[in-house]
Amino acid sequence: MLDGIIISIDAMGGDNAPDIVIKGIEYFLSHEGSGRRARFLLHGDAEALAPLLEKAPRTRERSEVYHTESAIAMDDKPSQALRKGKGTSMWNAVASVKGGQAGVVVSAGNTGAFMAMSKLQLRAKKGVQRPALAASWPNLSGDMTVVLDVGANVECDAAQLAEFAVLGEAYYRAIYKKSEPSVGLLNVGTEEGKGNAVVKIANERLSQSQLGLNYLGFVEGHDISKGTVDVVITDGYTGNIALKTAEGTAKLVESFVKEALTRNIWSKFTSALNGWALHKLKKKMDPRRANGAVFLGLNGVAVKSHGGTDRVGFANALNIAMGLAESDFQDVIDARLDALHDEDDNIGFIS
């Protein structure tokens, strides 16, 4: 029987699974100190996993393989995935958390299917209308900004946005070890009178709250990358667009920089002279640092890795999983949600 922090893995999920999954675990065990405390339940095709584990001794030593006959395709609709259900690597990986065999599940597979299976099996916490998907990306201060929701809920009411503030604040504290992370509500301007009715009501609710949240009010889109606040709250429609816009902008800047540095002999020469500075820039812009979104508000921890990531990116998702599994953020969320809804009852809050 495995001991330590048990992480359940959908070994067949992702564009390049199971190869990248096993390489990602091996990289994590080789480069992250927390890896010494990790053990893995690998759900997937045992025959396909065997030769990969032969080349990954650390992973082989710390893992148990649970054979599954089928996997969820990256283009399966959530309804199709749920019909396949039991017996797939994704379903069984989530089931290990539900059954208490693991503390967290990680998948690089189909996002919609993973979300649906996680919701169905783990269920939403008491007091959570709908779970949210939280993602991180780098900001100018050198830290990370957490944004939620980034796609789980296309439309949200003010009560849900207030719940997201509780979920995001607890998540930031658990992962980035900051005692009082700041929280902002994404809007078209920072003035009190701007925005639609939903964000105005949510802002009023959070401003009046006695929960102890470090709520700073409205923020705008550019504040995400500036790092004006640690946690940015929005609906899934807006958050998903913001996330993909940021990803596209990062790729555009990277291509511009690469073109400028290789345009001619002189630019190649100067880039060689500034090699260390360019290396630091590349590291800061590396999207793999931000890989690993989390479904917040469930009775269990589910971490979603980007489907096309490499071993370094998958290892970062595992690092997030470890941080959450070793924290008390679920208990903090429970306590804060109870207090939030007690306040709602006392002030007659209307979403």
With tokens 């940015």, the residue in question is: 232
CATH classification of the domain holding 172: 3.40.718.10
Lowest-pLDDT range of 19-28, 65-74, 151-160, 289-298: 289-298
Residue 321 included in any domain: no
Residue 327 included in any domain: no
Tell me the pLDDT band of 286, cut-offs 50, 70 and 90. Answer: low
Q: Could you read off the pLDDT of 85-136 as tens digits, one per residue?
A: 888 999 999 999 999 999 999 999 999 999 999 999 999 998 888 899 999 8
Residue 104 included in any domain: no
Tell me the pLDDT band of 280, cut-offs 50, 70 and 90. Answer: low
Distance between CA 295 and CA 198 in Å, rounded? 23
Give the pLDDT score at 350: 53
Distance between CA 17 and CA 330 in Å, rounded? 30
- Which residues partner with 138 through β-bridges? 144
Q: Could you read off the pLDDT of 174-227 as tens digits, one per residue?
A: 888 898 999 999 999 888 888 899 999 999 999 988 888 999 999 999 999 899
Residue 275 included in any domain: yes
Number of domains in the chain: 1
Give the pLDDT score at 348: 57
Span 289-299, average pLDDT? 86
Residue 15 included in any domain: no
Residue 74 included in any domain: no
Angle between helix 89-98 and helix 111-122 axes, rounded to 10 deg: 30
Distance between CA 288 and CA 25 in Å, rounded? 15
Instruction: Specify the long-range contacts of residues 138-142, CB closer than 8 Å, at least 24 apart.
Output: 138/225, 138/284, 138/285, 138/289, 138/290, 139/224, 139/225, 139/226, 139/227, 140/225, 140/226, 140/227, 141/227, 142/284
Write the CA distances from 259 to 87, 249, 273, 330, integer angstroms.
48, 15, 17, 46
Residue 257 included in any domain: yes
Residue 193 included in any domain: yes
Q: What angle do CA 225, 240, 254 make, to 5 degrees?
A: 50
Would you say residue 255 has pLDDT above 70?
yes
Provide the domain limits for residue 224: 129-296
Structure tokens at 83: 């019909």
Distance between CA 116 and CA 78 in Å, rounded? 6
- Which residues partner with 345 through β-bridges? none
Between strands 132-138 and 144-148, the pairing is antiparallel
Q: DSSP for 169-182, please give it.
A: HHHHHHHH--SS-E
Give the pLDDT score at 338: 81
Q: Which helix (H) or strand (E) holds 349?
A: none
